Structure 1
Amino acid sequence: MAKHRRKSRDLTLWCASIVFIIQSTSQVRGAPGPSSEFRTYARVQPRVFHRNNQITTHTKINNSSHPQVLRVDLNIDGVSRTIDLRLNIDLISSGYRQVHQLDGHSKTEVPETVELCHYHGSIRGIRSSWVAVSTCRGLRGVIYTGKTLHHIHPEEDSLSSLHYLYSHSDLISNKTCGTPGVAHDFPRKKREVPWGYPKGPYNSNRDSRYVELALIADTTIYKNLDRNLNNVHHHLINLANIINALYTPLNVFVALVGVEVWTSRDEIVITTDSLRTLTNFMNYRKSKLLNKIPNDNAQLLTATRFQDGVIGKAGVGAMCTLSSSGGVIRDHSDIVGVVAATIAHEMGHNFGMHHDANYCNCPDEDCIMVSTLTSSTPTHWSSCSLEQISASFSQGLDYCLRNRPKSLFGGSTCGNGFVEPGEDCDCGSKDNCHISCCNPNTCTFRGNASCATGECCDLSTCQLKRAGVTCRIAERECDLPEFCTGTSEYCPEDIYKINGLVCRGGTAFCYEGLCKSHGDQCRILWGLSGSSSPRVCYQQNTKGSEYGDCGYNPLDSTYSPCEEVDILCGRLHCQPPDGIRFQFGADGDVTVRHAYVNSGNTFASCKTAVVDMGTRDVDPGLVPNGARCAEGKVCVDQRCISAERLLGRVDRSSSCLKNCSGNGICNSIGKCHCDEGFAPPDCRRGGTGGSEDSGPVGPSDDGETDGLAIALYLIFLGIIPVVVVFVLCYRCRRKKLKGSIWNEMFISTYVSGVQWIQRIRSYIPPEDSTTRNSDKVFTISDSIPGTRVQVIKGNLVSTTNPEVISISRSIKINESDSTVIKNQRSVVKGCGMRPNLGGIPYSAGSASGIASGGSNDLEFMCESNSEIYAAFKRLKPVRPGPSTQRDEVQISDRRAFYKKKPPPPPIL
């Protein structure tokens, strides 16, 4: 037997460090005067308003809560800016706990109220900006202008005091990474990555992740903050508020579930060895902290100086694990935003992110996971970080992050992105609301809108989709589709087939909408080549050892043995091909065991895995619920029970008990889901199918069939006959109009500036009295019917809306009311050609936007124009004719070229 322990976090990969070269500055908070960590600063006086009333000292209302909406006027880089703020009520979760030491013992409190003065927002008029500040003791936090990051800090603990505004680019200390072999020290290419302020979870709730974060402060932090618990609590909540703002663009929301302050003694040994301190803290989290403050991730803050200038250390890919989900941080700066960025960086390692390499795309000079944190602005995540966190989630690292914590602060907050009681809609803040159906200021519908969100709302019309439109497809064999009801903007509750129905060809049973056999689970853990081992391997589960069990307790490292009847429901045994590595999770704690068991003439390969999933989630290394363990029996919670017993756990309707008349199946709430052609509730009568719970099935899923039919009717009964009549009329008219000249021509193609117009007068038949006052209108085509003049495309300068260009006794090009727009795919340049106007004088000085100047030496701006068609054409004869009086021909004043306002040019 071979033993293999998969631990990818050695000193190089298991621990990631940020090393800062820090000057010996004081760690005492709130000291007057500017911070010495920045080369320069600005002294500003913010003006805070609530309902147009200026607030001078603090933002408390009636000495209790803080307003949900604030406005701040602030001078940033010499420009007066207005900042719109909303209270971040989702920052502190329900059940929030505060732990501190009293008389040598830990005391845990669950406060009914917590002072929440922490805001998120943006700079008015700058959509890519974001702000995260607190107002409890002056204005503290970070302000991102869309280009630069600023830190704001009060001179004194009051809104009325002057504040210091620091640009992050002025940070003196240079920071380097102590983890070798991760980043590359060569020039980095700046690349375009589209970024904007987070749109909020209203737009992607289904994919949002929520981190329940615990922050712990040791005795050094407590002492540095004047041994005042309130000061420490506010400092920790300030950090969490900024961390949340940094993670929101990833659709990850950080909620603070609790804080612990070591007031009299440290609960662990904290040394200058950061790795040893991290190990001690992770053991403490596992054995004690999780009982005090259940959390997904915990970070310890200390003022202790670690060796080699390390200020942060965390396990890579450890998020959600029991043994390693957390980090240790040196609280190295008086500026809260600088420390918050360090915590966000270390949590990034927990998410499976590594330091950014040279090839990573970053919209700024540096991103948050940069290995060398310089004085640049680390406010974005690089393409590598996005790929790495996405890969971690796809491999199961987000299993503890799907549940949204309930906010401690009840009621509704307009602008937080969640539709709450009393709101019609909530599309986020005003600058980030892109839904025309919802008023972001009042969270009410606009105009005659009847919806503004949800899968059953047509956002193009702001009206409910009709009943029967599919809003959630059946994703798996044991799932059922849901349909819009026509009365709600939301899709009905997710319904699936009742637990205990046979699936996957009899190898498994439906359970909670899933169908998983032993082989399916092996493929999840080992890849597509994974398969379940023979039954002889599962006999090991009766031993209750590292090679087979019915459950592992990570708190005391004990294994539970299986009863003989339950062996196929205990530890999963797989036989992947040699050389295939374990593929579940992202560098999480996984213990793999490989045994060979005699099975007659050969030895069976039995590979098991114990995966650290914390204390609240099931180890995927166990046989999944729903797997078949015997004839008519199914695995549920590592026990082998009858499928009929599982079916009986749901209170089934009489129709379900009668097998839905043979025309449907029972759903997860015990009612019939009818086949197409039969109607609920009993599937006996004719109908469209579906159930009373998942909505009615419509004649088509989304109306595409109806739309196609209407389009076909329009084409065959409307458009084609019109085209035929037009062609016939055109041919008839062409014969009648030979020799005519038209007084007005409207341009219908994309409009471009004139290069030249050349009239060959003698080639054009003279105008007679029957056509002089003609009001006929035609579109310029490739050849003008009835004449010997052909239209030729020229190389022209693109404009969007030139004024009238007229031809009379002289040719005048009127000034354009729009500017020349360069074709992005071709270079506009002088063509070196003066206009040839056929002997007709040219009136200069009014061709702005078309000619390059106003003198007789004007050069026309030309381009290849391969993308935009020219609307004004060069005219030349098709065949020669007599030309004796070309300058004596009089041109009617009414003979002119006019433009018709064109459609916008194509996006190039």
Structure 2
Amino acid sequence: MLCRTSQLSAVGNMFFALLSVLWLIIQTQAIAIKQTPELELYEVVRPKKLHILHKREIQNNQTENGKEERYEPELQYQITLNGEEVVLHLQKSKHLLRPDYTETYYSPTGEEITTSPQNMEHCYYNGHILNEKDSVASISTCNGLRGYFTHHDQRYMIKPLKSTDQEEHAVLTYNQEEIDLANRTCGVRSVGRKQGHIRTSRSLNSPEQEDFLQAEKYIDLLLVLDNAFYNMYKGNLTLIRSFVFDVMNLLNVIYNTIDVQVALVGMEIWSDGDKIKVVPNTGDTFHNFLNWHRSNLGKMRIHDHAQLLSGNGFSNGRVGMAASNSLCSPASIAVIEAKKKNNVALVGVMSHELGHVLGMPDVPYYTKCPSGSCVMNQYLSSKFPKDFSTTCRSHFEKYILSQKPKCLLQAPIPKNIITRPVCGNQLLELGEDCDCGSSKECSNPCCEAMTCKLKSEADCRGDTRNHITEKDLPQDGGPKTTWRGFKYGRKDLESSLNIYIGGGNSEGFLKVKEAEK
């Protein structure tokens, strides 16, 4: 009897132990899978860094200043996602920041403070899932892995739960349905010059045109963050910088598909208050930012395009507005609603408005793109747009062939390469505000031909005129004016002053003069 009791006791202890193990497993699963208000269930993973170091990487693993890089040029991480092993193949993003990148903010007393971070090395990577060509990845490795990737048409966010790249991370399924698409459209009404027939066959292009199409293209972007955006992050410049760099990395995932690199040349943060009236009416805010941009060009970093990111919401469901066909001109601006801390949704709007700047129109919502959702879809959503439609690519090709915006071909110059700028060669080089050619060639009223510096406000435009008008430009057929490397005439200015409005169901294409009323 005693023996039987002992056996029963042993069986009971074993059963209790099994129950304990089962309870621990259940608890572990409960901890590993959670849910947040903005995102769906997430899975806890432990990335495994794979060794892929090559000889060329050892030789090239240096910064432009000859110092050893902290972040490797190429990385691979293996993770187990939904029971499947996948490998993130990542390459360090090129030209994410200009070598002479600056940040401007303001003290509480209104003093302008501009800093130039020295030897600023970034930790941002683009890539894909290994052996899955249609996947994309945009990842930061600064303190663990943080970013966005796609796998089997599903979108994921990865965030570190600890501070290193091989400890626990949360992989979250991105919820694409959280935004009402019906209230986020981009209406377009065509005015001004008619669009001519668009050639899609490149065989019709001349060798010179082919060279221009095949050349590497770069856009220097200036971002201006309004006071509401600054306050949204409680004035934490580190958090602001991290968010903006994440957005820039995602933006390049999109624009690399058309062989365009978008480099951040600088950030201006209105930390002490807005420099313009930022109001719910998108057109009014656009008009105010346009005038501010023109008035302050002389003291700003040289750039090809500027975007205002506003922490305020715009009315009528509109989320953005941009001047079309305007790259490299004084009117090359856009205003963007950025009131939510959602980098994927924000980059969707930024990339869409930049597409209008590059001559692309909206496309119907049913338009198919080679690798997923279309950037220029008339409905703007939280879905990450990965590609441009055939129609938009054709419009972009026509734009760069007809306008030939030379700033597109100006690659960032590494800090350790010292070149001697030559004033008067019609090339914008380091230390120059403008270059309109020789004194005889120059017809730019704002550029001093002898010094390649912008003239003062009074000398440039006169005391009674507040902004550039058509009279400032030569008639078509006459000499062209160079502004920051872009040559344009009167009709080009007309085109550059067209505005695209993102969001809302009303007509969204108007002239600046109409907005001024």
Q: Aligned partners of 1:592 and 1:290: how far apart in 2? A: 20
Counterparts in 2 of 1:358-757, with a 5 A limit?
Answer: 360-363=367-370, 366-374=373-381, 376-407=383-414, 550-553=443-446, 556=457, 591=470, 614-619=483-488
Find 1:165's aligned residue among 161, 172, 194: 172
Q: Aligned partners of 1:291 and 1:237: how far apart in 2? A: 24
Q: Aligned partners of 1:244 and 1:552: how far apart in 2? A: 35
AA paired with 2:338?
D
Given the superposition, is the C-alpha separation of residues 377 and 110 from structure 1 closer, same or farther in structure 2, using an over 3 Å criterion?
closer
Task: Report which of the two has the higher share of helix.
Answer: 2
1:284 aligns with 2:292: yes
Q: Aligned partners of 1:117 and 1:234: how far apart in 2? A: 10
Name the counterpart of 2:243: 235
1:348 aligns with 2:217: no
TM-score for both structures, normalised by structure 1:
0.39
Given the superposition, is the C-alpha separation of residues 618 and 313 from structure 1 closer, same or farther in structure 2, using an over 3 Å criterion?
closer
AA paired with 2:388?
W
Counterparts in 2 of 1:756-771, with a 5 A limit?
Answer: none
By relative contact order (CA 8 Å, sep 6+), the higher-ranking structure is 2
* CA deviation string 1:108-141 (max 9, x = no partner): 1122122411111221112332211112244332
What SS does structure 1 have at the residue aligned with 2:293? helix
Counterparts in 2 of 1:58-77, with a 5 A limit?
Answer: 65-76=70-81
Name the counterpart of 2:451: none
Q: CA deviation at 1:404?
A: 0.8
AA paired with 1:219?
N
Q: Aligned partners of 2:35 and 2:225: how far apart in 1? A: 25
Q: Aligned partners of 2:286 and 2:304: how far apart in 1? A: 16
Name the counterpart of 2:87: 82
Q: CA deviation at 1:249?
A: 0.8
What SS does structure 2 have at the residue aligned with 1:354? coil
1:112 aligns with 2:113: no
- Alpha-carbon contact 2:405-2:486 (below 8 Å) kept: no
Given the superposition, is the C-alpha separation of residues 111 and 146 from structure 1 closer, same or farther in structure 2, using an over 3 Å criterion?
same
Number of paired residues? 388
1:130 aligns with 2:9: no
* CA deviation string 1:387-442 (max 9, x = no partner): 1111111111532211111356x79xxxxxxxxxxxxxxxxxxxxxxxxxxxxxxx
Unaligned runs of 5+ in 1: 1-32, 54-61, 184-202, 412-510, 513-548, 561-588, 596-605, 623-908
Q: CA deviation at 1:593?
A: 10
Find 2:312's aligned residue among 271, 279, 304: 304
Q: CA deviation at 1:206?
A: 4.4
Q: CA deviation at 1:44?
A: 3.1
- Alpha-carbon contact 1:45-1:163 (below 8 Å) kept: yes
Find 1:266's aligned residue among 249, 266, 274: 274
Name the counterpart of 1:871: none
- Alpha-carbon contact 1:257-1:295 (below 8 Å) kept: yes
Given the superposition, is the C-alpha separation of residues 551 and 337 from structure 1 closer, same or farther in structure 2, using an over 3 Å criterion?
closer
Counterparts in 2 of 1:4-19, with a 5 A limit?
Answer: none
Q: CA deviation at 1:173?
A: 3.7
Name the counterpart of 1:214: 222
- Alpha-carbon contact 1:50-1:69 (below 8 Å) kept: no
AA paired with 1:67?
E
* CA deviation string 1:501-530 (max 9, x = no partner): xxxxxxxxxx99xxxxxxxxxxxxxxxxxx
1:92 aligns with 2:100: no
AA paired with 2:337?
R
Q: CA deviation at 1:66?
A: 2.5
Name the counterpart of 1:504: none
TM-score for both structures, normalised by structure 2:
0.65
Q: CA deviation at 1:345?
A: 0.9
Query: Moved runs in structure 1, 4+ residues, more than 6 A?
Result: 557-560, 592-595, 606-612
* CA deviation string 1:570-598 (max 9, x = no partner): xxxxxxxxxxxxxxxxxxx9838999xxx
What SS does structure 2 have at the residue aligned with 1:395? helix
1:145 aligns with 2:151: yes
Q: CA deviation at 1:250?
A: 0.3
Given the superposition, is the C-alpha separation of residues 396 and 71 from structure 1 closer, same or farther in structure 2, using an over 3 Å criterion?
same
More deviation, 209-218/172-181: 172-181
- Alpha-carbon contact 1:209-1:398 (below 8 Å) kept: no
CA RMSD of aligned residues (A): 3.9
Q: Aligned partners of 1:124 and 1:594: how far apart in 2? A: 52
Counterparts in 2 of 1:857-876, with a 5 A limit?
Answer: none
Given the superposition, is the C-alpha separation of residues 206 and 390 from structure 1 closer, same or farther in structure 2, using an over 3 Å criterion?
closer
More deviation, 207-216/83-92: 83-92
Q: Aligned partners of 1:135 and 1:619: how far apart in 2? A: 42
What SS does structure 2 have at the residue aligned with 1:400? helix
Q: CA deviation at 1:230?
A: 1.6
Q: Aligned partners of 1:251 and 1:279: how far apart in 2? A: 31
Q: CA deviation at 1:386?
A: 0.7
AA paired with 1:303?
G
- Alpha-carbon contact 2:95-2:263 (below 8 Å) kept: yes
* CA deviation string 1:704-750 (max 9, x = no partner): xxxxxxxxxxxxxxxxxxxxxxxxxxxxxxxxxxxxxxxxxxxxxxx
Given the superposition, is the C-alpha separation of residues 617 and 63 from structure 1 closer, same or farther in structure 2, using an over 3 Å criterion?
closer
Find 1:330's aligned residue among 323, 337, 349: 337
Q: Aligned partners of 2:473 and 2:216: how far apart in 1? A: 37
1:339 aligns with 2:346: yes
Name the counterpart of 2:256: 248
- Structure label with greater radius of gyration: 1
Q: Aligned partners of 1:334 and 1:157: how far apart in 2? A: 21
* CA deviation string 1:545-569 (max 9, x = no partner): xxxx954339859789xxxxxxxxx
Given the superposition, is the C-alpha separation of residues 387 and 271 from structure 1 closer, same or farther in structure 2, using an over 3 Å criterion?
same
AA paired with 2:74?
V
Given the superposition, is the C-alpha separation of residues 308 and 265 from structure 1 closer, same or farther in structure 2, using an over 3 Å criterion?
same
Q: CA deviation at 1:35?
A: 5.1
Q: CA deviation at 1:233?
A: 1.4
What SS does structure 2 have at the residue aligned with 1:384? helix
Given the superposition, is the C-alpha separation of residues 259 and 35 from structure 1 closer, same or farther in structure 2, using an over 3 Å criterion?
farther
AA paired with 1:552?
P
Q: Percent identity?
A: 22
Unaligned runs of 5+ in 2: 1-33, 54-66, 191-210, 418-424, 427-441, 448-455, 462-467, 492-517
Name the counterpart of 2:61: none
Q: CA deviation at 1:327?
A: 1.0
Name the counterpart of 1:516: none
Find 1:224's aligned residue among 229, 232, 240: 232
What SS does structure 2 have at the residue aligned with 1:321? coil
AA paired with 1:353?
M
- Alpha-carbon contact 1:592-1:610 (below 8 Å) kept: no
Q: Aligned partners of 2:177 and 2:83: how far apart in 1? A: 16
Q: CA deviation at 1:298?
A: 1.2
Q: CA deviation at 1:297?
A: 0.9
Q: CA deviation at 1:307?
A: 0.7
Name the counterpart of 1:36: 37
- Alpha-carbon contact 1:89-1:407 (below 8 Å) kept: no
Q: Aligned partners of 2:374 and 2:336: how far apart in 1? A: 19
Q: CA deviation at 1:373?
A: 2.8
* CA deviation string 1:799-842 (max 9, x = no partner): xxxxxxxxxxxxxxxxxxxxxxxxxxxxxxxxxxxxxxxxxxxx
Given the superposition, is the C-alpha separation of residues 388 and 135 from structure 1 closer, same or farther in structure 2, using an over 3 Å criterion?
same
- Alpha-carbon contact 1:91-1:407 (below 8 Å) kept: no
* CA deviation string 1:307-344 (max 9, x = no partner): 1122222112222111x212111224333222112211
- Alpha-carbon contact 2:101-2:116 (below 8 Å) kept: yes
- Alpha-carbon contact 2:223-2:309 (below 8 Å) kept: yes
